Structure 1
């Protein structure tokens, strides 16, 4: 009888150990899932911020094009949010933007052309948080029969994207 009690005690000890491990793993999994769901999607947030900057730069280029007498190229300047010693804004960058006849940044109607527009308008690499931004061109005639619906799509490999209508200058909000 003594051997049976010892065997039962061992079995009970193993069962308790297994139960403790299962509870511990379950709690860890619950915490991981909870914190993963509460964390903001940094790539989506970054893409939304870039879409706003893209829209602002496109509109700045358009109004500069209007103000300069509608030239084929405008030079966009970027300024730091501070003043230098002479109380003048500090210019951080200048880059050319090729403009269409309607006054919006333009390039060839292709994915590479859309990448050129990204570079002209944002002057940033096609990358967000270490992930490549893909550029695609959609011909408006094929989409809706109207060339004014032609657009560039800037997207991550999965999920969010925003679009730029090349003939109207409209930047469509981030989707996904």
Structure 2
């Protein structure tokens, strides 16, 4: 192979490498674009799943309350937790300051975060037609669900648009 052929061969492989790198960079940018475009959908789906998990754990705690002859505090032996319940067996730290925060921590077994996002907690009081207390767990993006302390219902699962 002559010197000129070697130079041409190197130039050809250099240009091929540049084309391949450019193509890979374009494909990566398309992937990143669609990933971030769908990130909100991931959060919404996971928060809906978190609400379902919350509801099933509350129901499991109430079932244990029934099995233990309806005490005021349910001992979850697997996790070593003592969870306060109301007279109907639903998780409720009645009269305690930060009741809804304690409910979240007891049921979800985590701090007030979800996918590295803080969870805002509100205690709502509805007086008509009957007096009802609810906890609302909400993300900054607008997704939330409510937990009715007297009935144990997890409802109003709302997904921001």
Distance, in Å, in 2 between the alignment partners of 1:110 and 1:46 is 30
Q: How does 1:19-30 map to 2 (within 5 A)?
A: none
Q: Which residue of 2 aligns with 1:165?
A: 148
Cα deviation, residue 130, structure 1: 1.6
Q: Which residue of 2 aligns with 1:98?
A: 84
Q: How large is the RMSD of aligned CA atoms in angstroms?
A: 2.6
Cα deviation, residue 159, structure 1: 1.3
Cα deviation, residue 33, structure 1: 6.3
Distance, in Å, in 2 between the alignment partners of 1:119 and 1:35 is 31
Aligned length: 132
1:140–1:147 CA contact under 8 A, matched in 2: yes
Mean alpha-carbon deviation: is it higher for 67-76 or for 103-112?
A: 103-112
1:55–1:171 CA contact under 8 A, matched in 2: yes
State the secondary structure of the residue aligned to 1:60.
Answer: helix
Distance, in Å, in 1 between the alignment partners of 2:44 and 2:95 is 26
State the secondary structure of the residue aligned to 1:47.
Answer: helix
Q: Residue by residue, what CA displacement relative to the aligned partner does 1:27-64 show, whole Å, maximum 9, x if unpaired?
A: 9xxx5765544455232222112111111111011111
Structure 1 unaligned segments of length 5 or more: list them: 1-26, 78-90
1:65–1:103 CA contact under 8 A, matched in 2: yes
1:51–1:173 CA contact under 8 A, matched in 2: no
1:111–1:152 CA contact under 8 A, matched in 2: no
